[in-house]
Amino acid sequence: MRLWHFRVTVIALWAALSNPLNAGGYHYEIDVTSQLVGDASGQLGSLQVTWLYDKHVSLILFENEEPNPFGRSKKLMLIADRIIADLHEYNYYAKLQVDGMNQPFNRVMDYKLELTDDYRLQLNFMIPLAKTVSIAGRQLEVTWLDPTGTGLLLHRSVGSLSVDKIDTNCKIELENYPDYQHGELPQKARLECQ
């Protein structure tokens, strides 16, 4: 697992040093779509997440994987296994707070990696909460942060964050921090649920 992370880091470092536009360090972007999903009782039970990697990192991750005799789908599965294993160490780059209290996550078991028509990797995964929680009448914050500061994870619009299978109305706001520094939070999503 650490070898995979090391390998991607070395490739990213090479790309950063070979491109003068990245003199401040290599960064890549991930477009995030998140859905807060309720369980059978209507309490928040998980986050359904889609990450759409930028084309450059998608190419690095896909092309640097060893050829697989079982084809592209097996290759994508192996890449996904490594990404999810690495992300577990970092809490999937996610933080969910309900009324200021951190909500712990269980291990991700449900995930899939796809290659889109425009050759971008799309990782779909479900982050289960360790304990379900009622969100009616509460304030939530969802943040995404790569602690290495290399990945920039952003919801591109309010529409990329939603609530499903929970009988509540939530006002959603995105607060962007355009002057964030390397390794700092670039964005915070706030939900005020009735």
CATH number at 138 reads: 2.70.170
Does any domain span residue 20?
no
Does any domain span residue 22?
no
Tell me how many domains the chain contains: 1
pTM for this structure? 0.84
Please give the sequence-ordered ranges of beta strands (E in DSSP) within the chain, or none if there are none.
28-38, 44-53, 94-98, 101-102, 110-115, 121-133, 139-144, 151-154, 161-164, 170-176, 187-193
- Percent of the chain topping pLDDT 90: 68
Does any domain span residue 134?
yes
Domain that residue 121 falls in: 28-193
Nearest alpha carbon to residue 176 among 148, 143, 133 = 143
The answer to whether the CB of 144 falls within 8 A of the CB of 153 is yes
Q: Note the pLDDT tens digit of each residue in 68-108.
A: 666 788 889 999 999 999 999 999 999 999 999 999 999 99
**How many CA atoms lie less than 13 Å away from 97 in the CB half-sphere?**
10
Does any domain span residue 72?
yes
Please name every residue paired with 140 in a beta bridge, in sequence order, or none if there are none: 98, 191
